């Protein structure tokens, strides 16, 4: 079955560490997105990519980095510059553009210890 796979499901990070969250899709979707959700709040856009080797900053890109070397993969690195990284991270994909709804992965819960 086609879908989006995020890993790991839970991740613990020490202060000052960089960590990378994986997102892989086999839906043949062109566009991929990263959102962050804090408790009781909506999703906020971190980065998005409409095509391989191209990506754009969202509303809260500071302290994060991404790459899009393959159509299927859009990993997110949470760097030590991100001061409050504890959150639920959601990866999504769609055919491209805002006229199509997203398919989401099951998310990664990141906690700073």
Partner 1 sequence: RKEVEQDPGPFNVPEGATVAFNCTYSNSASQSFFWYRQDCRKEPKLLMSVYSSGNEDGRFTAQLNRASQYISLLIRDSKLSDSATYLCVVNKDTGRRALTFGSGTRLQVQP
What is the rounded distance in angstroms from the CA atom of residue 110 to the CA atom of residue 62? 17
The verdict on 7 binding partner 1 (CB under 8 A) reads no
Give pairs for 49-52: CB < 8 Å, separation 24+. Answer: 49/74, 50/96, 50/97, 51/96
Q: In whole angstroms, what is the distance from residue 67 CA to residue 52 CA? A: 9
The residue among 17 and 51 lying less far from partner 1, judged by its C-beta, is 51
Q: In the structure encoding, which two tokens stand for residue 86, read together?
A: 């504890």
DSSP 70: B
CB 22 within 8 A of CB 7: yes
Write each residue from 69 to 98 as x if it is in contact with partner 1 (CB under 8 A), else as -, in one continuous string. Answer: -------------------x-x-----xxx
Asked whether position 2 contacts partner 1 by CB under 8 A, the answer is no
CB of 19 to partner 1, least distance (A): 20
Nearer to partner 1, 84 or 98 (CB): 98
What track of x and - describes contact with partner 1 for positions 13 through 52 (by CB under 8 A)? Answer: ------------------x-x-x----xxxxxx--x-x--
Binding-site ranges for partner 1 (CB under 8 A): 31, 33, 35, 40-45, 48, 50, 56, 58, 88, 90, 96-99, 101-107
């Amino acid at each position: 079955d086609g879908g989006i796979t995020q890993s790991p499901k839970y991740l613990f990070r020490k202060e000052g560490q960089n960590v990378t969250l994986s997102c892989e899709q086999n839906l043949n979707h062109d566009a991929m997105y990263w959102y962050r959700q804090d408790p009781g709040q909506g999703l906020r856009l971190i980065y998005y990519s409409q095509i391989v080797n191209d990506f754009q900053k969202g509303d809260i890109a500071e302290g994060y980095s991404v790459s899009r070397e393959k159509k299927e993969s859009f990993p997110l690195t949470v760097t030590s510059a991100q001061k409050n990284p504890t959150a639920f991270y959601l990866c999504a994909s769609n055919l491209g553009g805002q006229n199509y709804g997203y398919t989401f992965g099951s998310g990664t819960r990141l906690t700073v210890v």
